[in-house]
Amino acid sequence: MSDLRELYQEIILDHGKRPRNFRALVGADRRAEGYNPLCGDKVTVYVKLADGVVKDVAFEGTGCVISTASASMMTKSVKGKTVAGVERLFEHFHQMIAGESANPHSTDDLGDLAVLAGVREFPTRVKCASLSWHTLRAALKGEPSGVSTE
């Protein structure tokens, strides 16, 4: 249980219990759905895109605390970014949670997202943490039918 306690850090619990930007986004021009059958996490991501910039982003869904917290932190960190900037951030984030980061200092740009680094110890949780990101990328690419982590 000590490993789990480390994983479920305070900031993760806070985002899991009180997710930010948890709503349907009125006027969203992009939307995608994601599903992680391993855990049962479901998420819908809404994006308002203008001139290649994420003007607003929100999500709805049901899932474990990791998937909810990760989606909450994601919406905070991608708002105002260009699509290319979102892609770079995702790559960094994914390298971190998949334990593939070549440079341990490269999490500097991740901000709060860095607290999710602990999921790399729990391979099934990596899918929980990355679900909302894969769904966001599907939305940005205009693939509303969405993604499944399987």
Q: Is 129 a residue that touches Zn ion (CB under 5 A)? A: no
CB 85 within 8 A of CB 28: no
Rank residues 67 and 132 by Cβ distance to Zn ion and give the closer one. Answer: 67
Contacts of residue 27, defined as CB under 8 A and 6 or more positions apart, other chains included, come to 48
CB 36 within 8 A of CB 48: no
Rank residues 19 and 79 by Cβ distance to Zn ion and give the closer one. Answer: 19
User: Could you give the string, one character per residue 37-76, with x where binding to Zn ion holds by CB under 5 A and - elsewhere?
Assistant: --x-x----------------------x--x---------
Q: Which two tokens stand for residue 58?
A: 């929100």
User: Within the chain, where are the H helices?
Assistant: 2-7, 10-17, 65-78, 83-97, 123-140
Nearest approach in angstroms of CB 48 to Zn ion is: 26
Nearest approach in angstroms of CB 41 to Zn ion is: 4
Nearest approach in angstroms of CB 40 to Zn ion is: 7
Nearest approach in angstroms of CB 125 to Zn ion is: 7
* Contact window for Zn ion (CB under 5 A) among 33-41, 52-60, 72-80, 109-117: 33-41
- Torsion angle of alpha carbons 27, 43, 57, 87, nearest 10°? -130
Give the binding-site size for Zn ion (rule: CB under 5 A): 5
Bridge partners of residue 43, in order along the sequence: 34, 61
- Of the candidates 74, 128, 139, 140, which one interacts with Zn ion according to CB under 5 A? 128
Hey, is 118 helix, strand or coil? Answer: helix
The site for Zn ion (CB under 5 A) is made up of: 39, 41, 64, 67, 128
